[in-house]
Structure 1
């Protein structure tokens, strides 16, 4: 069975967030994401929640500031990911800051070997 795509409104928000950082490229068809060197660093699953991957200190600070819990996908906790609260989509400079933080963190991750 094919995955259910996220709600259209949420996908448009994700597209907007990605557009704030020119180096980011949205990928996927039913599960939308960005990746670099084989490492996914932003994600939106069928639930329509946008998650970003952050380094340890930024992750902890973000969770404390926005009082968000774990980001889950198919019942599993996605380590290093935080769900973006809806309020951030109304604050472009802050949204851009967090998207850039995630992109910058992705640059520090070791490349994953290709499966081809």
Structure 2
């Protein structure tokens, strides 16, 4: 795991007081019984959205669906590395994702 990239993920999550980073070997965030962001072994960040928002961001960010351990993570988009330093944007995306999972029925 690339510690510098993990530090970027941790710094983004740290700016979101409504939730905290979890996981030692697979860093992630979760709320309401749902994971909504993930830092995988390929050192990639994925964030979960509703189907409509996911479709919009796939086009807007010119990115793909997020994969972890070779499997497509339903509802997640890959955050392109070129966006990782757009702190404000990524913090907003994390908060938007948190709001989305909080709108779902609790697991």
TM interval, shorter chain, is: over 0.9
- CA–CA distance in structure 1, aligned partners of residues 61 and 50 of structure 2: 16
Q: Does 1:98 align with 2:93?
A: yes
How big is the alpha-carbon RMSD for the aligned residues of Structure 1 and Structure 2?
1.2
Matched length: 107
Task: Name the TM-score, length of structure 2 as normaliser.
Answer: 0.92
Aligned to 1:58: 53
- CA–CA distance in structure 1, aligned partners of residues 38 and 92 of structure 2: 17
Q: How far 1:89 sits from its partner (Å)?
A: 2.2
Aligned to 1:43: 38
Gaps of 5+ in 1: 1-5
- Secondary structure (helix, strand or coil) at the match of 1:79 reads strand
Alignment of 1:18-29 (within 5 A): 18-29=13-24
Aligned to 1:34: 29
- CA–CA distance in structure 2, aligned partners of residues 74 and 89 of structure 1: 21
- CA–CA distance in structure 1, aligned partners of residues 81 and 17 of structure 2: 22
Q: How far 1:96 sits from its partner (Å)?
A: 1.6
Q: Deviating runs (4+, > 6 A) in structure 1?
A: none
- CA–CA distance in structure 1, aligned partners of residues 96 and 89 of structure 2: 11
Task: Name the TM-score, length of structure 1 as normaliser.
Answer: 0.85
Q: How far 1:72 sits from its partner (Å)?
A: 1.0
Larger gyration radius, structure 1 or structure 2: 1
- The one-character-per-residue Cα deviations of 1:41-94 (angstroms, maximum 9, x if unpaired) are 001111110100011221111100111112111211100001111232222221
Gaps of 5+ in 2: none
Q: Does 1:11 align with 2:6?
A: yes
